[in-house]
Structure 1
Amino acid sequence: MDRQRFLFVSADAALVTDLAWQIHREGHDVKYYIEAESDREIGDGFVPKTDDWESEVEWADVIVFDDVWVGSDVGTGALARELRERGKAVVGGTPNTDRLEEDRGYAMEVLEEHGVDTIEHHVFRDFDAGIQHVRENPAPYVIKPLGEVQNVKRLLYVGNEDDGSDVVDVLNAYKKAWGHRMKGFQLQRKVEGVEIAVCGFFNGERFIDQVNFNFEHKKLFPGNIGPSTGEMGTSMFWAGRNELFEETLGTLEEWLAGEGYVGSIDINCIVNETGIYPLEFTPRFGYPTIALQEESIESSTGRFFSDLARGADPDLEVHRGFQVGVRVVLPPFPFDDEKTYDENSRNAAIVFQSDSREGIHLEDTKNVDGQWRVAGESGMPLVVTGKGETMQQARERCYARIEDVVIPNMYYRDDIGERWTAGDGDRLQAWGYLGP
C-alpha cells in the first residue's frame, strides 16, 4: 500500500505505543500524542511525537484513539465522531459506545434490548442500599465500580460466600475508604463457568469475518489469586463468526453500524452448559490484548487499520493456531507508591541476552541512545508474546522469550494459557460454542 500518515492519540495515559511502533516500522509516517504529563516520555526513541494532536489532524490520513478516557472523563467517542463528520478516517468510538464501558447498567440495557440474556445485575449509587440488597437477597455477587474509579482494578471484587457476607464486608470497607470517589457500583450475580472474551473489529458498517477469542488473566499471582490488575496476560485464538460470536457481539451489528463505530470491541462473558452470560464491554483496544493481536496478524497492520477506518473490508491474514502474551511488570505494580517505584524501577535498564526482539512489545518503555529503559510511572515496561499450533507450543515460545529479558526486580505470571489446557478448551468444545 502507499505510505500513510497515522496520528495516534492518547488523551489520557499512554497505551497505544506498541501499535504506533509496529505501524512506524512498516514504513508509515507516525505521530504520537500523549496527554498525561507523567507518561510523555513513553515511546521516546521509538516513535515520533507531537505536542498538539489537533494541529496534526489535517496532516493525518488515519487518526487512532486508544481509549475512551479524556483525562478523568469519558470523551474520545465525541472527538472521534466530530472528526468523522469532518471527513477524516478515524479508529475510535462514539459517545454511546464509550458509555458501554463507563456505565455498566446502560451496557446491560443495550444487550437486553437486542435479545441477549444477561446476569442479574443492579446499579447502586448508595452503599447502604447495595448492602441492604445483598442482605435481602443472599448470594455470591461481583462488585464492579462505576465511572472513573473503575480504572482502579483492585476494587473489583468477586464474592465467594453463598450468603453474600463477604460482599457486605467489602462494601462497608469501600464506603469508608472510597466513598468520596466511588460514585456508584454494579452488583452482578456471580455465575460459574468458563470466562472468555469475544473480540470483533468493526469498520463502521459491519464486523470483519475474523473473530478473536481471548482469555484474560487479571489477578496478580499464578493460580488466579491476589489483587486484580488491568491484566497480567492473555491467551487467544482466531475463528469465524461462530455461535459464541453470533449470540453476543453479532446481535449488536446493526446498532454499531447506526453508531458508526470503528475499531476493536470486546465483550467478556461467562459461558456454561446452560448459556452465554455477558459481563462487560471493552469498546476500544484491550491492553495487552492488542499487542498479542499484533503478534498474530500476518498481513500488514497498517493496511488493516487504514482499511478499517475507511469502511473497507480489510484483507486480514491471521495465525490460525494459538497465541499467548505475558505482561512483564516491576514494583510496585499494581499499586501506586512513588518511593518504591523510584528506588526499584524508575529508568531501569532493559537488557536482552540475544539480538532478537521477536515477540517483544512496548508498554512503558523508552529508547535512550540505543538503550531500552523503563518509562512512565506504572511499572509495566513490556509484553512478551508467542504463538504456536497448540496452546502449549505458544506458551513455550512466549516463556522462552521472557527468559531472554533481564530487568532487575521484574516479575510476571508463569501460568498464562494453562486454563485452556487444563479443561477450558474441552468444556467450550463440548458445549458446542466454538463450532463453525
Structure 2
Amino acid sequence: MKSKKSQTQLKEDTTKKKFLVVSRWGESLDIAFAISMEGHTVKMYIEDKPSREIGYGFVQKVKDWQKHIEWADIFIFDYTGYGKACAELRAAGKLVIGGTEYTDKLELDRNFGQDELKRHKIKVLPFKEFFSFQEAIDYVKAHPNAYVIKPMGETSEYKQLLFVGSDDEGLDVIRVLKAYEKSWGDDFGNFQLQKKVKGVEVSASAFFNGKEFLEPINITFEHKKLFPKELGVSTGEMGSSMFWTKDSPIFEATLRKFEGTLAKQKFVGHIDINCIVNGNGIYPLEFTSRFGYPQIFIQRAGITEPIGQMFYKIASGHKFKIQVKKGFQVGAFLVVPPFPYEDKKTFELFSKDSVIVFKKDSKEGVHPMHLKNINEEWLITGNTGIALLVTGTALTMRDAQKMMQNRISNIIINNVYYRTDIGDRWLEDSDKLWSWGLL
C-alpha cells in the first residue's frame, strides 16, 4: 500500500505545468504545440528575428523569455549555446531540459568532441584541422585518400557545405576546396578533413535525467541529401527512420561511456552520437547534444505517453522507462523554395504565407514546422521553407512508410518537394548490421 506522501507526490507530478520553451529558430514548435494540447500552459520565445512569426496562433509567444523565469515550472531549451543559462537556472532550483557548457562544446567544437571520445577510450577516425584552403590542398596531395570536409564554428550551420569525397586519391576534395576558396575566401573559417570509411551511417541516442540514461535507446538512420537515392546537396536533414530498443551494442560502445561524465555535468536532455559502423568497428563522427531535427518529432510519434509529462519527469530526475511503440517510425520533411538555401527574395516570391491544404480533415502524424495559424489555416512563415514533418509508424518498416506516404498524399502545398525513399536504407543496412553483430 502506498503511503500518503507517495500518493501526494504522484498527484503533484500529474498536475498541469507551465512550460517556457526557448528556441533558437522556432524548430520546437511541434513540441510546444503538443505540450499545450495536453492541457499544459506553454509560452514560447524565438531568438532569431526572421523566425519570430513561427508559432503565432499555435502557442502563446513572448518577446523576452527572461521576464518569465519566475512564472515557469519547467524550461525547454531546443538548441546548443544555452548551456550557461541552463546551468544558472538549475543552480537556482529550476527544472530544465537543456544542455550544459560542456555538452554545448561537445557538439560545437569538433576537435573537443573528438578529444573527449578519445579520453573516454573510444576509437575515432583520423582527422586534421585546417585554417587555410591551400594548407588543406597541400595535405591531400601529400596524403592521397578519400576525405570528408567538415566546416567548424558558425559555418558548420550551412549543412550543404559538408562534402563527402568518393575519390581514393582525394581529387574531388581538392576541387571542392578550390571552389570554396574562390567563393568564401577567409570568411569560411577553420574546418576539418576527416578520413572517410565505408559502412553504415547510424546514430544512437537517449534521454538523460541528470544522473543516468533512460531506456529505451533510440537508433536512427538519417537521410541528409536533398534528393532520393542520396543525390544532390547535403541538407541538415530530409527525414529519418528509427526504432527503439532496450539493448544496443553501438550505444554501449559510445554514449554509455559518457554516463558518469554527463552526470557530473548535471546534463538533462537528449544526446545523440552519429557513427559510421562496419565489420572493423564503430567510428563516432559527431555529437548532437540537444533535440535532433526531425529526430525528436519522429521520436514523439513513437512515444505513447504524454510528452509534457515525460519531459517533466526527465527534468525532475525521475528514473523510469519511456513508453514507446513497437516496430518502426519514419518521417519526411515537406519543404518549399528556397530550401536548403537562404534566399529571402525567393522565399517571399514562392513560399511565404502559402496555405497548407488538407484534402480530408485529419492531421494525425502531421507535425507543424515553420508555420503560423491564422483563422485555423496553417500558413508557411519563417525564412527557410520547412513546412511540415509527416510521420508514419508500424510494426514493419514498409508499413510505416506506407502510412507516412498516405498521410503526405492528403496534403496540398504549392511548390512542395520531399524525399520519397525515407526508410529504404533499412532493408540493406539491417542485413549488414546483423552480420556485424551490431543490432
Instruction: Check whether TM > 0.5.
Output: yes
Letter in 1 for 2:122: V
Aligned to 1:393: 399
TM-score of the superposition, structure 1-length normalised?
0.96
Residue 350 in 1 paired to residue 356 in 2? yes
Cα drift, residue 42 of structure 1? 0.6
Aligned to 1:281: 287
Aligned pairs (5 A) from 1:24-423: 24-68=36-80, 75-421=81-427, 423=428
Output the aligned Cα RMSD: 1.0
C-alpha distance in 2 between matches for 1:335 and 1:291 = 22
Post-superposition Cα deviations, 1:348-369, rounded to whole Å, max 9, x if no partner, equal 0000011111000011011001
Residue 6 in 1 paired to residue 11 in 2? no
C-alpha distance in 2 between matches for 1:174 and 1:203 = 42
CA contact (8 A) 1:154 1:229 kept: yes
Letter in 1 for 2:137: I
Q: 1:17 aligns with which of 29, 46, 70?
A: 29
TM-score of the superposition, structure 2-length normalised?
0.96
CA contact (8 A) 2:205 2:219 kept: yes
C-alpha distance in 2 between matches for 1:241 and 1:261 = 22
C-alpha distance in 2 between matches for 1:427 and 1:121 = 26
Residue 430 in 1 paired to residue 435 in 2? yes
C-alpha distance in 1 between matches for 2:276 and 2:430 = 14
C-alpha distance in 2 between matches for 1:123 and 1:88 = 39
Cα drift, residue 315 of structure 1? 4.2
C-alpha distance in 1 between matches for 2:136 and 2:26 = 35
**SS of the counterpart of 2:282?**
strand
Cα drift, residue 209 of structure 1? 1.7
**SS of the counterpart of 1:174?**
helix
Letter in 2 for 1:318: V
C-alpha distance in 1 between matches for 2:368 and 2:187 = 31
CA contact (8 A) 1:326 1:385 kept: yes
Cα drift, residue 52 of structure 1? 1.2
Cα drift, residue 138 of structure 1? 0.5
CA contact (8 A) 1:304 1:315 kept: no
Letter in 1 for 2:435: A
Post-superposition Cα deviations, 1:1-46, rounded to whole Å, max 9, x if no partner, equal 1101110001x31111000011111111100001111111111111
CA contact (8 A) 1:77 1:97 kept: yes
Letter in 1 for 2:249: E
Letter in 2 for 1:9: V
Q: Name structure 1 gaps, 5 residues minimum.
A: 69-74
- Report how many residues are paired: 426
C-alpha distance in 1 between matches for 2:265 and 2:187 = 31
C-alpha distance in 1 between matches for 2:159 and 2:356 = 26
CA contact (8 A) 2:215 2:321 kept: no
CA contact (8 A) 2:216 2:321 kept: no
Letter in 1 for 2:436: W
Aligned sequence identity (%):
47
**SS of the counterpart of 1:179?**
helix
Post-superposition Cα deviations, 1:167-189, rounded to whole Å, max 9, x if no partner, equal 11111221222233221101110
CA contact (8 A) 1:193 1:270 kept: yes
C-alpha distance in 2 between matches for 1:64 and 1:54 = 13
